């Protein structure tokens, strides 16, 4: 007579090994995804695009205070900086006060997230203005109609500027590898007009971080940032 087989016990050890192996694979795959995302983000920020924050009213009504904007670094590299472009540039010196330093854990976290491109730059060391003249251009103010003139051409800027063209009279030739910048909100912009003693007020191209191509947030302001015909049509 055949004896009944003994019931086989559940192999908890083998099952634990399987679960542990699956968990390890999951963690490894998650780590790979996170590292890949970080590498892509840093690569995009370094070579292609970067988020910035608009800190002041100097570019009203084109840009509003608090707008999150996208600056294209690749556009600067491939197309250069041209008249009419809105640019983000590092303070070449003396245009801003001492930046407010972020401290504590929150400050460290914000700096880290900004460095990898997850937060817009708000370092207090960058400015946003519009390029009115490029190297070799003669820019002056004002014409008999109180408008800015570039290479003898009177600019018609009422479509994108606020206030009078300038409260400062000047006439300069833009130095090599530099651009002359103004804020669209002319009465409330400390731009090239107020720094004529240094490099004729112009910003060195080496300080330009990128060309603003998109208003990203808030969504009510979402849209492109085109260069106006009044500037792109200049010869």
pLDDT confidence of residue 118: 43
Residues with a catalytic annotation lie at 58, 129
Is residue 232 classed as helix, strand or coil in its secondary structure?
Answer: helix
Lowest mean pLDDT among 13-22, 169-178, 196-205: 13-22
pLDDT of 41 strictly over 70: no
Per the prediction, the chain carries an average pLDDT of 82
Give the helix ranges, DSSP H, for 48-84.
73-79
Domain boundaries, the chain: 50-98+123-232
Average pLDDT over residues 57-73: 94
Q: If phi over 0 gives left and psi between -120 and 50 gives alpha, with beta otherwise, what is residue 136?
A: left
pLDDT of 156 strictly over 70: yes
Compute the distance between CA of residue 121 and CA of residue 34 in angstroms, rounded to an integer.
22
Compute the distance between CA of residue 111 and CA of residue 114 in angstroms, rounded to an integer.
5
Which residues face 138 on adjacent strands?
A: 173
Quick check: bond before 61 cis, omega within 30?
yes
Average pLDDT over residues 45-74: 88
Q: How far is CA 114 from CA 45, 109, 140, in A?
A: 10, 8, 38
Give 11's pLDDT tier (boundaries 50, 70, 90): low
Give 49's pLDDT tier (boundaries 50, 70, 90): confident
pLDDT confidence of residue 167: 80
CATH topology of domain 50-98+123-232: Umud Fragment, subunit A (2.10.109)
Backbone Cα Rg of the chain: 27
pLDDT confidence of residue 205: 96
DSSP state of 81: -
Record the pTM: 0.76
Closest CA to 205 of 225, 186, 180: 180
Compute the distance between CA of residue 133 and CA of residue 111 in angstroms, rounded to an integer.
34
Q: What percent of the chain has pLDDT over 90?
A: 54
Closest CA to 81 of 194, 217, 219, 213: 213
Contact 225, 214 (CB under 8 A): yes
pLDDT confidence of residue 29: 74
User: Which of the residue ranges 12-21, 28-37, 64-73, 121-130 has the most confident prediction, judged by mean pLDDT?
Assistant: 64-73
Beta-carbon-side half-sphere exposure of residue 144 (alpha carbons within 13 Å): 0
Which residues face 88 on adjacent strands?
A: 128, 210
pLDDT confidence of residue 25: 74
With residue 57 as reference, give the H or E element that holds it. Answer: none
Could you report the per-residue pLDDT of 158-178, keeping only the tens digit for each?
Answer: 999 998 888 889 999 999 999
pLDDT of 97 strictly over 70: no
Compute the distance between CA of residue 199 and CA of residue 179 in angstroms, rounded to an integer.
10
């Amino acid at each position: 007579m055949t004896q009944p087989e003994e019931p086989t016990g559940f192999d908890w050890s083998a099952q634990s090994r399987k679960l542990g192996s699956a968990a390890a694979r999951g963690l490894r795959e998650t780590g790979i995804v996170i590292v890949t995302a970080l590498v892509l983000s840093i690569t995009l920020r370094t070579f292609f695009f970067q988020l910035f924050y608009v800190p002041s009213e100097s570019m009203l009504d084109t840009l509003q205070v608090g707008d999150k904007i996208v600056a294209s670094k690749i556009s600067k590299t491939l197309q250069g900086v041209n008249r009419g472009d809105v640019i983000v540039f590092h303070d070449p010196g003396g245009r801003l006060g001492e930046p407010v330093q972020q401290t504590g854990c929150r400050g460290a976290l914000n700096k880290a997230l900004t460095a990898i491109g997850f937060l817009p730059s708000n370092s207090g060391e960058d400015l946003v203005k519009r390029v009115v003249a490029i190297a070799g251009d003669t820019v002056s103010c004002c014409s008999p109609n109180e408008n800015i003139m570039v290479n003898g051409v009177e600019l018609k800027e009422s479509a994108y500027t606020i206030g009078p063209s300038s409260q400062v009279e000047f006439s300069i030739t833009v130095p090599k590898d530099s651009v002359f910048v103004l804020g669209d909100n002319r009465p409330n912009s400390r731009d090239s007009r107020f720094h004529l003693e240094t490099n004729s007020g112009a910003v060195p191209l080496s300080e330009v971080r990128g060309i603003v191509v998109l208003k990203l947030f808030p969504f009510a302001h979402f849209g492109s940032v085109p260069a106006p015909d009044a500037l792109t049509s200049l010869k």
